Amino acid sequence: MARPKKTDTLDTAQAIELTAGAIQRLTCRTDTKAQAFLRDTKAPGLRVRVTSTGHKSFVYETKLNRQTIRRTIGDVRAWTIEQARTEARRLAVLVDEGVNPIDQERQQQAEREAKKAAAAALAVTVGDAWAAYIAERRPHWGERHYLDHVAIARPGGEPVKRGTGVIQPGPLAAFMSQQLRALTPEAVESWAAREAKTRPTQARLALRLLRAFLSWCSERVDFAAVVPAQNPAKSRRAREALGKAGVKSDALLREQLPAWFAAVRALPAAPAAYLQTLLLTGARPGELLGLRWDDMNVQWRGLTLRDKAESKGGEDGTRQIPLTPYVHHLLAGLPRRNEWVFASTTKPAPIATPRWPHVDACRVAGIEHLTLHGLRRSFGSLAEWLELPAGVVAQIQGHKPSATAEKHYRVRPLDLLRLHHEKFEAWILEQAGVTFDAAKEPGKLRAVTP
């Protein structure tokens, strides 16, 4: 029998002993998406597949549980015929044992990926997880809360904006380069003991943020495997090492009002207006800094402040307080550079929180250790001189109702709040020695001291 020529067309309906020449002569239609198979007689189930593009590969095909199984072995240019036969025989043994080679391969691939993910999880650092945490949670946080997370973990080393020196690392900076799995209760307790000697207040905040972060990690598939079941930051020893926060009592005294107002009103317009408004409204420093021009209702003499969630303000997270005459004068006198009332002169944003200008003003006035939050505390403390209703003061400041009657049976409209608030403002200006004509047009008034 004559040897077939290289140009002869193979009969793919018949199984043959695969040879390099036969594989070379195997062709397929090119006018449609089709494929052809050439069966091997020496290794049952072994085929050579050719596609309409001319690509050829070894495949194994058989039936298992009345279903056709077809698994690609490899390219004919990478596998020899004998290697393909050996692989086909191995697959045939699996099928005889009732194992689907495709399912087995998928399972093995899943196991390899799981091992790879586990190895990656073991290598992940606290800094990597922290970055993912604040990126995911930022839409649910206020700007101040987000900045606390950034500052508490910053590496430090940058030059300070005021004075000389560099910014110190945040309390949690020491953890950022460590592996997440190394964050054990013992490590947290040792950290707390060190931080308690230099900055316990910041460390207490850091411990609270760390506890929330680790709870988030325990709920994430990619981090849960390396975080202990018991939150390492929920450590009694760590809390005891840092101690309890002291009660803050910084507030303006009535007799300090003249000196404070004189020093603050000597500052540039925006910081001066901000600090006076902070005292006269009892607002939180951050929520007042975010005041926009659209938040001023001149017709009904009201201010809309974006409240903290826990203060239970309006349904949209805001609360309404009166726009008192002197505060209206201060705000109306500011230039409208952008949407913000206390606008920066260099960028479309509010001014930076004027802590240092306030420190300078307090130094001039001879007042020590008065913080911006101390001005909010001063509002509530000075209101005692007029015996203003505690519920009115709390509602203006955005505090939670302190009793069932306040929460469910007291509805104070804006005009009722204004009655008490304007009385408070007039008394403060009187004690400060500020002469103010409330009958003239806001923004064109001239407030003078005798």
Residue 210 has pLDDT above 70, yes or no: yes
Residue 64 has pLDDT above 50, yes or no: yes
Report pLDDT for 223.
Answer: 84
- List the domain boundaries for the chain: 20-114, 126-242, 254-432
Contact 392, 412 (CB under 8 A): yes
Report pLDDT for 228.
Answer: 82
**Higher pLDDT residue, 180 or 247?**
180
Nearest partner of 414 among 302, 291, 294, judged by Cα: 302
- The rounded distance, in Å, linking the Cα atoms of 122 and 132 is 16
pLDDT tier for residue 266 given thresholds of 50, 70 and 90: very high
248-271 core/surface letters (b: 16 or more CB in 10 A; e: else)? eeebbeeebbebbbbbbbebeebb
What is the CATH number assigned to the segment(s) 20-114? 3.30.160.390
Kindly state the average pLDDT of the residues 186-196. Answer: 93
pLDDT tier for residue 220 given thresholds of 50, 70 and 90: confident
Contact 393, 297 (CB under 8 A): no
Kindly state the average pLDDT of the residues 357-365. Answer: 95
Identify residue 50 by its one-letter amino acid code.
V
Identify residue 294 by its one-letter amino acid code.
D
- The rounded distance, in Å, linking the Cα atoms of 389 and 412 is 11
Kindly state the average pLDDT of the residues 261-268. Answer: 96
Residues contacting 110, CB < 8 A, separation 6+? none
pLDDT tier for residue 349 given thresholds of 50, 70 and 90: confident
In this structure, which topology does domain 254-432 adopt according to CATH?
Answer: hpI Integrase; Chain A (1.10.443)
> Which of 46-50, 217-221, 439-443: highest mean pLDDT?
46-50
**Higher pLDDT residue, 262 or 31?**
262
**Higher pLDDT residue, 398 or 2?**
398
| Single pTM value for the model | 0.60
20-114 and 254-432 in the same fold? no
Residue 67 has pLDDT above 90, yes or no: no
Measure the N-to-C terminal CA separation of the chain; round to a whole number of Å: 128
**Higher pLDDT residue, 164 or 397?**
397
What would the pLDDT profile of 308-340 be if each residue is shown by its tens digit?
644 444 445 789 999 999 999 999 999 998 999
- The rounded distance, in Å, linking the Cα atoms of 281 and 168 is 34
- What would you report as the CA-atom Rg of the chain, rounded to the nearest whole angstrom? 38
